[in-house]
Amino acid sequence: GQQVMQIPQYQHVQEGEDFTTYCNSSTTLSNIQWYKQRPGGHPVFLIQLVKSGEVKKQKRLTFQFGEAKKNSSLHITATQTTDVGTYFCADFNDYKLSFGAGTTVTVRA
């Protein structure tokens, strides 16, 4: 089964607003990867977090790894229509990448 749990499952956002999606685990994670899948597309790698408390930014996206390495978050500021899609966190464990269920984001203009 899935080791990582993502919340919320769906996020409906007004264009221009901020939102955060979360990835939680009951066990310590070695590292976390984030992927984005556009509707009808395939998952595309966004970023990897390895260190406790690590924060990385990609333009309007901010990724964070918890201090205990049991959770991670993705925060998007000033949401745009191009942010539509499903965001997955994935746990790289035992050389396998196991995906969470994803947060599906829709944007209303």
Partner 1 sequence: DARVTQTPRHKVTEMGQEVTMRCQPILGHNTVFWYRQTMMQGLELLAYFRNRAPLDDSGMPKDRFSAEMPDATLATLKIQPSEPRDSAVYFCASGLMGIGSPLHFGNGTRLTVT
Chain residues in the site for partner 1 (CB under 8 A)? 2, 30-31, 33, 41-45, 48, 50, 88, 92, 95-102
Q: How far is the CB of 93 from partner 1 (least distance, A)?
A: 9
Q: How far is the CB of 44 from partner 1 (least distance, A)?
A: 7
Q: Which is nearer to partner 1, 55 or 97 (CB)?
A: 97
Q: How far is the CB of 67 from partner 1 (least distance, A)?
A: 19
- How many helices (H) and strands (E) the chain has is answered by 0, 11
The per-residue DSSP string of 22-53 comes to EEEESS--S-EEEEEE-TTS--EEEEEE-STT
Tokens representing 4 are 């990582």
Partner residues linked to 104 by β-bridges: 10, 86
Q: Which is nearer to partner 1, 24 or 80 (CB)?
A: 24
